């Protein structure tokens, strides 16, 4: 038996988790998906491992909370998704983070260059649902605003 899922199933799974209005996820607490910003500080593999298996703790490099941006007006933002198609789903809302009141940084002092984003089931803490490295990192200094325009956040199952 193959270990691959069909495109049909991939689309249904994405709708089930991320497009709540058309195919609700059975967790009654998950009605909003949040985007969080993370900075690897040059250690992309450690951050990816922390996102895969870690917790929201901030004490060690094994915890994704160590890498999530904190302070300077940062807060996770909600995101909406269109219906999935061909095993992919894209955002259908523009996500605007608050204007930074100082240079972004993290609990682990990994810097103000956003290298990864993650989708969470909570506005704080919570669980990582999906994550990935940005195609182009973005340095966020005082007065800057990180924005993800509608359609530019895509999750693909394959």
pLDDT tens digits for range 120-153? 888 998 888 889 999 999 999 999 999 999 999 9
Q: Which residue has the higher pLDDT, 85 or 10?
A: 85
pLDDT tens string 15-40: 777 775 665 555 555 678 899 999 99
Three-state SS letters, the chain: CCCCCCHHHHHHHHHHHHCCCCCCCCCCCCCCEEEEEECCCCCHHHHHHHHHHCCCCCCCCCCHHHCEEECCCCCCEEECECCCECCEEEECCCEECCCCCCCCEECCCCCCEEEEEEEECCCCCCCEEEEEEEEEEEECCCCCCCEECCCCCEEECC
Mean pLDDT (the chain) is 87
pLDDT at 158: 73
Is residue 58 scored above 60 in pLDDT?
yes
pLDDT at 31: 75
pLDDT-derived band at 75 (thresholds 50, 70, 90) equals: very high
pLDDT at 150: 97
Would you state the structure tokens that stand for residue 15, as one six-digit string?
A: 């709708």
pLDDT-derived band at 2 (thresholds 50, 70, 90) equals: very low
Is residue 101 scored above 50 in pLDDT?
yes
């Amino acid at each position: 038996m193959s270990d691959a899922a069909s495109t049909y199933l991939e689309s249904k799974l994405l709708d089930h988790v991320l497009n709540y209005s058309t195919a609700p996820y059975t967790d009654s607490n998950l009605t909003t998906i949040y985007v969080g910003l993370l900075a690897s500080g040059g250690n992309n593999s450690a951050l990816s491992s922390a996102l895969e298996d870690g917790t929201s703790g901030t004490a060690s490099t094994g915890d994704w909370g160590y890498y999530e941006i904190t302070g300077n007006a940062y807060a996770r933002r909600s995101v909406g998704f269109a219906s999935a198609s061909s095993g992919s789903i894209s955002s259908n809302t523009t996500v605007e983070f608050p204007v930074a009141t100082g240079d972004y940084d993290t609990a682990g002092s990994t810097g103000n260059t956003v290298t990864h984003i993650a989708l969470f089931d909570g506005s704080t803490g919570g669980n990582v649902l999906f994550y990935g490295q940005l195609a182009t990192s973005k340095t966020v200094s005082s007065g800057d605003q990180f924005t993800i325009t509608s359609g530019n956040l895509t999750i693909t199952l394959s």
